[in-house]
Amino acid sequence: DAGVIQSPRHEVTEMGQEVTLRCKPISGHNSLFWYRQTMMRGLELLIYFNNNVPIDDSGMPEDRFSAKMPNASFSTLKIQPSEPRDSAVYFCASSFEGRNSPLHFGNGTRLTVT
């Protein structure tokens, strides 16, 4: 079991640029979650999918953020245009069945926007 795989591990970009974060969930898991972690706000749920369908995106901070899950084995989180306040660690997590099942997290993407 390779676990949840995220790429890149680190991303440094300039303000205004587009950023795309990628996630490969654990095979067989049917729920996928995107979280953002900062010192000030802790771990915030941005959006989650069940069977590739977005269920709740109320945590997405602005229209600059978008997430897709074109198939069961891949998801992206895109920020366009990026801003310095988007700097954070972004985590992807997956679970089986989604309901009352623990999440398995990737090791995150550390994003720095200058």
Q: How far apart are CA 74 and CA 90, in angstroms?
A: 15
Q: Which is nearer to other proteins, 8 or 16 (CB)?
A: 8
| Choice from 1, 62, 70, 100 touching other proteins (CB under 8 A) | 100
Q: Rounded to the nearest whole angstrom, what is the least distance from the CB of residue 38 to other proteins in the complex?
A: 11
Structure tokens at 111: 């994003």
Q: Which is nearer to other proteins, 54 or 81 (CB)?
A: 54
> Is 12 near other proteins (CB under 8 A)?
no
* C-alpha to C-alpha distances, 31 to 3, 44, 73, nearest whole angstrom: 14, 17, 11
> Is 65 near other proteins (CB under 8 A)?
no
Q: How far apart are CA 57 and CA 80, in angstroms?
A: 17
